[in-house]
């Protein structure tokens, strides 16, 4: 079963970091942070299904 709490915290922290970057007008790093979080949580979800 996927660890939704761990996935939530990973996404929440990534969103917080991305918002900080956006407030500094650094859109590139913000996008990379969100893309990595998306990939990481997807991997966590897929691995939990095995």
Confidence of residue 49 (pLDDT cuts 50, 70, 90): confident
pLDDT of residue 44: 96
User: Can you tell me the mean pLDDT for 10-23?
Assistant: 98
| Host domain of residue 31 | 4-49
Band (pLDDT 50/70/90 cuts) for residue 5 is very high
Q: Give the C-alpha separation, 7 to 44, whole Å.
A: 7
Averaged pLDDT, 11-40? 98
CA 49 from chain centre, in angstroms, equals 19
Asked whether the predicted pLDDT for residue 50 surpasses 90, the reply is no
The number of domains in the chain is 1
Report whether 36 contacts 10 (CB < 8 A): no
């Amino acid at each position: 079963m996927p660890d939704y709490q761990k996935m939530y915290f990973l996404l929440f922290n990534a969103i917080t970091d991305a918002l900080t970057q956006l407030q500094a007008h650094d859109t590139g790093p913000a996008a990379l942070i969100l893309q990595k979080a998306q990939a990481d949580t997807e991997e966590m979800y897929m691995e939990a299904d095995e």
